[in-house]
Every structure is written in structure tokens, then in C-alpha cells.
């Protein structure tokens, strides 16, 4: 039969064209294949120890040891979760952003709109999954009521943002080139914020109800964030023009070493009465890269509105992946729900963040001593 002519099938998939490889993961693959003993991985942003090896936080190791004991006692299972995931995990994640001091003290949050149920949310597949669910929510709700709704993102931004917006159906005619942007990095210095350009754009181009995608801290890929005073001006303009904030927060605590400082922009918008969307990730700050654990939240004006929003979030999740995985969620809950574990995590987080900053300073010093020119022609 092997040599006989095949007559029962048809060549269905020959029309499929190869998709271009993802640039970031292509670098990762190239690094893995490189045999040079002195190679250095400058691709995917994942924390490494002094030997260049992946690092598992001590509090994460402790969590996994604890979870093993709970299997025997029936406290943890591998059963399906509810569509939005674990409700306590969602509440803890929202509290981490808006009231980390209560987690530090082991008390219930007093942040009103979290405590009274005005913040809808779901457990997500890390930050990427949170972004996708929230953009799909926008497509199904806000964009349905306002077909002219537009998304504005910084130029530049994380490379995956455009693809997520496009695949959620929010790019005009499916063309990523048509996704709107606001100026962000100064084209002359390449190292400072083009605040004037950003403000001018927000004042003139978006219409009421348009969504502005903002990086809560550690802007990707530039690392340049607005100052507190600049955030204040951004808030004032967005309030005046009735623009909708959408925060992508992938680095809380990992950027500065302070959970409060890295969440200050989001908290200020919340304090100012804004409704907003929020994507959180535990990949960087808990080192849970492969667990794909995050949270997608929407701040509303009342618990009644939040219930309707929650139903729409659930409606996005059900046909997309039905319900989220358990393991990463259990680890995060172990850390956030116990003040001693939380303290251990904060201590490690500060050391990791501090070490990164020390290495950056050492690299700059060496580059300057060796008189290496910067790619932009400016000083380091």
C-alpha cells in the first residue's frame, strides 16, 4: 500500500503560509543553539542568579512544599476551577495593587471600591492572558456601543500589544499599522520621555471613551516612566477628555523594589475616581514565568455595575479557555494571604531588584571606563 497512489485524501493544508517567527523567542532559540561558552542571553527578560541560571524564589519553594502536604489533607485538589478562577486570589491581587499595606499587616483591605465589590476580576493566564481577555471585553462591550472607539498605545511599546489588540478585533481592518499611538520616547535623546509630545497627543487626538494603554511602571521596552508630577498631568487631561485608562502592570515591586512605588500611578487614578482596566502578572515579581498566572480587573463605580462587568468577563473566558489552572494561583495565595510569607517575598523582591540596579550601574561604569560609544551617540 505504501507505494500505491493515494486516492482517498486531498491536499488541504498546502495553502497555509508559514508565519514569521516571534522576534523575542527567536533570540531565545538562537541562544540555546549557540555553543560559545561566553554567550550572554539579552533576549527574554527573566531573572537569573550569579551563574546565569533560572532562580526559584525561596518563598515559592516553601509554597510548593506546603501544597504537597495539603494534597494529603484534602485542602488542595486538581479539580476544575470556576470560570473566573479563585475569588480570593483575585481579591488579593487587587489589594496588592491598591492597598499592599493591608497584606503586609495581615488585615482586610479598607480600600473602599475593592472592599465593597466594585472591582470585577478574573484569574488570567499571566499578563498576556489578562490583556487578551480585557481587550476582548472592550470589543464585546464598549466597542459595541461605540463602533468608533480607538485604542492608543505608547510608541514604542511591548511588541505583543499590537498583536493582542489586533486578534481581539480592535485593529481597524485587522491592520496593525492602523492601531493608534501616542509619542513616548524622545526621538533625539532616545533615553528620556517625550512628555510634551505625549500630552499634546492626549489633548488633541483621542475622543471621549477611547482607551489609553499605559504601563504602570518599568515601561517596556524603554524603562522610562513619567514622574509623579507628570502622572498628575496625565490624569488631569484624561479626566477632562473622558479617556479610559488601561494599565499593564508586569513589574510591580520588581522595578523599584517597592510594591507601593511601582503601583503609585494606578492607585492615584483609583483615588481620583477613575474607572479603569488592569492587567497584572506574577511572572517577574514572583518568578512564576512558566506557571502563567496573572489577574485581569476592571474598576467600576458600584458593586451593581461590577456584577454586570463580571458576567461579561466570564463570557469572554468560557469559550476561550473555559477556566484557569490551579497551581500558580495556589502559590500566589500562599504568599499574599499570610503576612510572614508576604514579608519573606518582599525581602527577596528587594534583593532581586537591588541586584539588577547594581549590575546596571556596574555595566555603565565599565562601558564608560572602556570608552564604549552608546548606540544613540549620547552618554550612558
Q: Which residue has the cell 489609553?
A: 212
State the catalytic residue, choosing from 210, 262, 284, 345. Answer: 284
Q: Residue 10: what are its φ and ψ, rounded to 5°?
A: -140, 155
Instruction: List beta partners, residue 278.
Output: 247, 297
Catalytic, 158? Answer yes
Given a contact cutoff of 8 angstroms between Cβ atoms, the answer to whether 93 and 322 are in contact is: no
Cell readout for 26 is 527567536
Helix, strand, coil % (nearest 5) of the chain? 50, 10, 40
State the catalytic residue, choosing from 158, 194, 210, 345. Answer: 158
Task: With CA atoms as reference, report the closest residue to 278 among 336, 323, 202, 215.
Answer: 215
Q: Which helix (H) or strand (E) holds 153?
A: strand 151-155
| DSSP-assigned states of every residue in 174-212 | G-GGGSEEEE-B-TTTSSSB-HHHHHHHHHHSPPTT-EE
User: Can you give the C-alpha Rg of the chain in angstroms?
Assistant: 22
Task: With CA atoms as reference, report the closest residue to 181 among 164, 197, 160.
Answer: 197
Give CA–CA dist 21/263, Å, rounded.
34
Given a contact cutoff of 8 angstroms between Cβ atoms, the answer to whether 69 and 62 are in contact is: no
Give CA–CA dist 316/321, Å, rounded.
9
Task: With CA atoms as reference, report the closest residue to 47 among 201, 251, 223, 221.
Answer: 251
Q: In what order do the strands lie in the sheet with 180-183?
A: 119-124, 294-299, 276-281, 244-249, 211-215, 151-155, 180-183
State the catalytic residue, choosing from 86, 210, 248, 262. Answer: 248
List residues with catalytic annotation.
158, 248, 284
Amino acid at each position: 500500500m505504501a507505494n500505491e497512489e493515494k486516492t482517498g485524501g486531498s491536499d488541504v493544508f498546502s495553502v497555509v503560509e508559514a508565519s514569521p517567527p516571534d522576534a523575542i523567542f527567536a533570540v531565545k532559540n538562537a541562544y540555546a543553539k549557540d555553543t560559545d561558552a561566553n554567550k550572554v542571553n539579552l533576549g527574554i527578560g527573566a531573572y537569573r542568579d550569579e551563574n546565569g541560571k533560572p532562580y526559584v524564589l525561596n518563598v515559592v519553594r516553601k509554597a510548593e512544599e506546603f501544597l504537597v502536604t495539603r494534597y494529603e489533607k484534602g485542602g488542595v485538589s486538581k479539580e476544575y476551577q470556576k470560570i473566573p478562577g479563585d475569588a480570593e486570589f483575585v481579591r488579593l491581587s487587587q489589594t496588592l495593587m491598591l492597598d499592599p499595606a493591608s497584606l503586609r499587616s495581615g488585615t482586610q483591605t479598607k480600600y473602599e471600591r475593592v472592599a465593597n465589590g466594585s472591582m470585577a476580576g478574573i484569574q488570567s493566564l499571566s499578563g498576556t492572558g489578562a490583556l487578551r481577555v480585557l481587550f476582548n471585553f472592550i470589543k464585546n462591550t464598549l466597542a459595541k456601543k461605540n463602533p468608533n472607539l480607538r485604542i492608543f498605545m505608547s510608541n514604542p511599546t511591548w511588541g505583543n500589544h499590537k498583536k493582542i489588540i489586533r486578534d481581539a478585533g480592535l485593529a481597524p481592518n485587522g491592520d496593525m499599522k492602523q492601531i493608534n499611538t501616542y509619542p513616548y520616547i524622545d526621538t533625539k535623546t532616545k533615553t528620556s520621555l517625550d512628555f510634551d509630545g505625549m500630552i499634546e497627543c492626549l489633548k488633541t487626538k483621542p475622543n471621549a471613551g477611547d482607551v489609553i494603554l499605559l504601563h504602570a511602571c518599568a515601561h517596556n521596552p524603554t524603562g522610562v516612566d513619567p514622574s509623579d508630577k507628570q502622572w498628575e498631568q496625565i490624569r488631569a487631561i484624561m479626566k477632562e477628555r473622558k479617556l479610559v485608562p488601561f494599565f499593564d502592570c508586569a513589574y510591580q515591586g520588581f522595578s523599584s523594589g517597592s510594591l507601593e512605588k511601582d503601583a503609585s500611578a494606578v492607585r492615584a487614578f483609583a483615588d481620583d475616581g477613575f474607572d479603569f482596566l488592569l492587567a497584572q502578572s506574577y511572572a517577574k515579581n514572583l518568578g512564576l514565568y512558566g506557571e502563567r498566572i496573572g489577574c485581569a480587573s476592571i474598576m467600576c463605580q458600584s458593586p451593581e455595575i461590577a456584577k454586570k462587568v463580571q458576567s461579561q468577563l466570564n463570557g469572554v473566558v468560557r469559550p476561550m479557555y473555559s477556566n484557569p489552572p490551579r497551581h500558580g494561583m495556589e502559590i500566589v495565595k500562599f504568599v499574599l494571604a499570610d503576612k510572614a510569607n508576604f514579608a519573606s517575598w518582599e525581602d527577596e523582591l528587594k534583593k532581586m531588584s537591588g541586584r539588577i540596579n547594581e549590575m546596571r550601574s556596574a555595566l555603565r561604569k565599565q562601558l564608560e571606563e572602556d570608552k564604549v560609544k552608546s548606540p544613540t551617540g549620547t552618554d550612558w
